[in-house]
Amino acid sequence: MQEQATALVMAGKRSGTLDPLAAAANVSQKSVVPVAGKPMIEHVIAALAACKRIGAIRIVAHEADEIRAIPLVGRLEREGRLSFRAGAFNLVDSVFSGAEGAAFPLVITTADNCLVTPEGYAEFVEKCLAARADAAAALARKEDVMAADPEGQKKFYEFSDGGYSNCNTYWIGNEGALSAAEIMRSGGQFVKYPGRIAKAFGVLNLARFYFGWGDKDRLFAQISRRFGYKLAPIVLSNGEYAIDVDEPRSHRITEKLLAARTA
């Protein structure tokens, strides 16, 4: 039997604030905002459930009932394949909550990753296993992202071997490597907030990252030495995987791309 990963779907709420997309859709949390006629998290759960490389699915949420009411989610929970874990105050502690008692390896994804397919998750798991990664981050090539959404993202991680975008999908290969989740404590968005790289990776790596010195594999090797675990950049084949639903424009492009798949 092929090795499987446990999926953690991060579906929490920002403390004390209602997401603008949720407010516009008259729902209490972003994860159930309709996208192409379905709650956005339903797209993610359907892809994970159909992926041969994913075993158990855990939804990490502050308010489970609204998500549990989705028929697919309820059915998978009754079948014992899906369960809920309580969201914490911040992203990293929510990951720790979701990981407690889970079978490793873990694939961490987000409720707004509506465009990742079962094949995309399988590709990520297989490449992480092949790389023997303790921890990993999914990336998409700049040219692939621009082909999917020419008017979208303008900032990319620039390395000597090209530009890349984060796909908000991560790998934790073993319990010891959970410490690598500290990278996400500031919420990611390293391109927008370069100071976060210095906090997570060190000032020298900030300089390499910011000025594009060296290729991504060399930078990840440097980071791996700093953390004591092998961190790997995993490049996925589809630029759509880097597009998540964050605001009205990305909501529109996601619906457009989903419609194109079914046309």
d(CA 115, CA 254): 7
Cα 67–Cα 256–Cα 32 angle in degrees, nearest 5 = 10
Do 154 and 192 form a contact (C-beta atoms < 8 A)?
no
- The pLDDT of residue 43 is above 60: yes
Q: Is the pLDDT of residue 31 over 50?
A: yes
pLDDT value of residue 59: 98
Give the predicted TM-score (pTM) of the model. 0.87
Q: At a CB cut-off of 8 Å and minimum separation 6, what does 160 contact?
A: 212, 213, 214, 215
Our count of domains for the chain comes to: 1
Q: Give the mean model confidence (pLDDT) for residues 136-161.
A: 88
Specify the CATH number for the domain of residue 238.
3.90.550.10
255: left (phi over 0), alpha (psi -120 to 50) or beta: alpha
Residues of the chain above pLDDT 70, percent: 86
Q: What is the pLDDT of residue 203?
A: 47
In contact, 61 and 12? CB cutoff 8 Å: yes
Q: What does the alpha-carbon distance between residue 160 and residue 180 come to, in Å, rounded to a whole number? A: 25
CA-to-CA separations, 116 to 15, 23, 163, 168, 260, in angstroms, rounded: 27, 25, 20, 10, 14
- Strand pairing partners for 61? 86
pLDDT tens readout for residues 216-260: 777 777 777 777 888 888 999 999 999 999 999 999 999 999 999
Domain range for 230? 5-262
Mean of pLDDT over the chain = 87
SS3 category, 119: helix
Whether residue 200 is predicted with pLDDT greater than 60 in this model: the reply is: no
pLDDT for 227 equals 73
Element (H, E) at 199: helix 195-201
Instruction: Check residues 161 and 143 and name the one with the higher pLDDT.
Output: 143
More confident: 22 or 231: 22
Please report the sign of the dihedral spanned by the C-alpha atoms of residue 64, residue 71, residue 38, residue 254.
Answer: positive
* Residue 42 · residue 59 · CB < 8 Å: no
pLDDT digits (tens, 9 = 90+) for 51-110: 999 999 999 999 999 999 999 999 999 999 999 999 988 778 888 999 999 999 999 999
Of 14 and 104, the one with more pLDDT: 104
